[in-house]
Amino acid sequence: MTKQVYKLILSGKISENYDVEIVYEKLAIVFEIDLKKIPKLLKKPTVIRKNLSYDVVRQYKEGLEKIGVLCDTFPKLESEPNLEAESFIVDDKENSIIDESDTFSFLEEEKALVLDSAQLRVIDIKIPFGSMIILIIKWIIASIPALIILGSIGYVGYLFQTTIAEMLGRFL
């Protein structure tokens, strides 16, 4: 009794109701690759993972479709596989429309593609140095009114404290 294995294939298309740029950005984040490589990745059907179990390939497929990327599996996912059946092995390279030489292996086994969770965890922020400097300058400028307000509150507190101390000094 062997397990059936699947291939995960990006069809090269984006769902109709999704913005192409946003889908590209999400794919770049998920695959941890440069945004400029995404159009090449979606140019034609591409195998991105091989030898996946039913549960894993289903998770990948559902996750990618939630961000707007149409993908497929080979063999098709229709129902829970029959584990008593022989393993499905395909080596029909002449009739295949998928170029397996472009198999992408940037999804590691230990990484989980969980896109349906209510929590979002930032793994890395890639920002050019110039943009980071501009962000810091804007942050400093935006903090000036907050510093003025906090300084005013501190000054009022200081005045209140000295006034109370003077009043107590007179009575004692």
pTM of the model: 0.46
| Mean pLDDT for the stretch of residues 33-43 | 83
- Residues 47, 96: one domain? yes
Residue 21 has pLDDT above 60, yes or no: yes
| Mean pLDDT for the stretch of residues 95-101 | 47
- Residues 98, 145: one domain? no
Asked which of 58, 87, 102 is the last residue of a domain, the reply is 102
Q: Report the pLDDT value the prediction gives residue 116, as an integer from 0 to 100.
A: 46
| Mean pLDDT for the stretch of residues 91-99 | 45
- Residues 152, 68: one domain? no
> b vs e for 109-143, b when ≥16 Cβ sit within 10 Å of the residue's Cβ?
eeeebebeeeeeeeeeeeeeeeeeeeeeeeeeeee
In a domain, 122, yes or no: no
Mapped to the 3 state alphabet, what secondary structure does 80-143 carry? CCCCCCCCCCCCCCCCCCCCHHHCCCCCCCCCCCCCCCCCCCCCCCCCCHHHHHHHHHHHHHHH
In a domain, 172, yes or no: yes
Residue 121 has pLDDT above 70, yes or no: no
In a domain, 24, yes or no: yes
Residue 139 has pLDDT above 90, yes or no: yes
- Residues 66, 133: one domain? no
Percent of the chain with pLDDT over 90: 19
- Residues 19, 53: one domain? yes
Domain encompassing residue 156? 127-172
In a domain, 68, yes or no: yes
Q: How many domains does the chain have?
A: 2
